[in-house]
Amino acid sequence: MNSDGGGSPTRPAVSDDQPVTDPAVCSLPNQADPVAFKQAMDLIRRRRKYFFATIILYMPLMWVANRISPTFRSMAITFSVWVVVLFITALYSALARCPRCGHYFHMNGMSLLYLRRCLHCQNHINAS
């Protein structure tokens, strides 16, 4: 920003030959191919299903483990295996890239949020 000498900042002049870009809007590198876009969105939806299925399977899995062997050791082993599978599916789904903007769909920096929209370009999970 420039100052006009009076202490109030003024905006720099924008010439016509410089493109004006908004840093809040992602570029759209892969939007030209609708087939690849649909396949990438299907991949994101499939990875989300794996993650949420792992979460939903926790209670039935622990119930079955308790029915088979109600010891602390068997429950701890079952829980440990479930946590490892949960970590793998969370990592697998977190590293899915948005086909519209190319950023991670569910990650923004170190934030992992399973929202229904891309955290960068707001592409909806049901877009196709």
C-alpha span between 128 and 23 (Å, rounded): 25
Whether pTM exceeds 0.85: no
Report the domain count for the chain. 1
Q: For residue range 74-114, what is the model confidence (pLDDT) as tens digits?
A: 999 999 999 999 999 999 998 888 888 888 888 888 888 88
126 occurs within a structural domain: yes
Half-sphere exposure of 2 (CA within 13 A, CB side): 6
Both tokens assigned to 23: 């840093």
13 occurs within a structural domain: no
Q: What is the dihedral of CA 19, 23, 25, 27, to 10 degrees?
A: 60
78 occurs within a structural domain: yes
Q: Which domain holds residue 44?
A: 29-128
47 occurs within a structural domain: yes
- Which run of H or of E encompasses 94? helix 72-94
Measured in degrees and rounded to the nearest 5, phi and psi for residue 28 equal -115, 80
pLDDT at residue 15, as a whole number: 52
- Which residues are within 8 A (CB) of 24 and not within 5 positions of it... i.e. 6 or more apart? none
89 occurs within a structural domain: yes
48 occurs within a structural domain: yes
- Is residue 71 scored above 60 in pLDDT? yes
16 occurs within a structural domain: no
20 occurs within a structural domain: no
